[in-house]
Amino acid sequence: MAKKITQNEFERVCAPGEVIVKEGQAGREMFIIRSGRVTISKRVGERETELAVLGKGDFFGEMSLLEGQPRDATARAVRETKLLVIQPGGLLIRIRRDPTFAYEMLQKMSGRVRDLNAWVTRSLASGEGAKVPEATRTLVGFSAVLPAEEPSE
């Protein structure tokens, strides 16, 4: 069920267990949770691994909206969930109307990067992440701290 709000935004109601987006799927929308809960999961080998449980005010899908890349994870409604769906162009309009929205979004994204930094640090300390790929070092801000990997011969 969808209810149009603006030209680039609509409200969607999802049933419990409904897959909202699937990992690897093409998509250009982001979602803001108005009510309910959503699990974010990713396939790791043969297992589906839960990465997060999101609630009211949280958002997901921004990576596909901003980069135009396939979905990086699967999102599934835990219970009946109301979502604000923002389509391409809608994010910029929303930010122009309400600059604090952009600031709040950046704060949440910064928190996600901070959590990722902590996870990488724990992995390195435990020896699990002895060889951190260049892309990961750059992503989490370690490029100036970690030595580059030795080229393989």
pLDDT averages per 10-residue partition of the chain, 153 residues: 76 97 94 96 91 92 89 96 92 90 90 85 74 51 45 47
How many CB atoms are located within 10 Å of the residue 33 CB? 21
Q: Helices marked H in the chain — which ranges?
A: 62-67, 90-97, 99-126, 134-139
Structure confidence at residue 80 (pLDDT):
97
Task: Find the Cα–Cα–Cα–Cα dihedral 100, 104, 109, 110, rounded to 10°.
Answer: 100
The confidence score (pLDDT) of residue 153 equals 44
User: For residue 143, what is the DSSP state?
Assistant: T
Residue among 5, 3, 4, 7 at smallest CA distance from 88: 7
Specify the pLDDT at position 119.
81
pLDDT of residue 133: 55
Q: Is the CATH code 2.170.120.12 the one for domain 2-97?
A: no
> DSSP states of 24-43 as a string?
T-----EEEEEES-EEEEEE
pLDDT score of 130: 53
Read off the tokens for 70.
């396939």
> For residue 58, what pLDDT is reported?
93
Give the number of other CB atoms < 10 A from CB of residue 32. 22
Where are the CATH 2.60.120.10 domain residues in the chain?
Answer: 2-97
pLDDT for 107 equals 92
Residue 70's CB is within 10 A of a number of other CB atoms, namely 14
Report d(CA 14, CA 76) in Å as an integer: 9
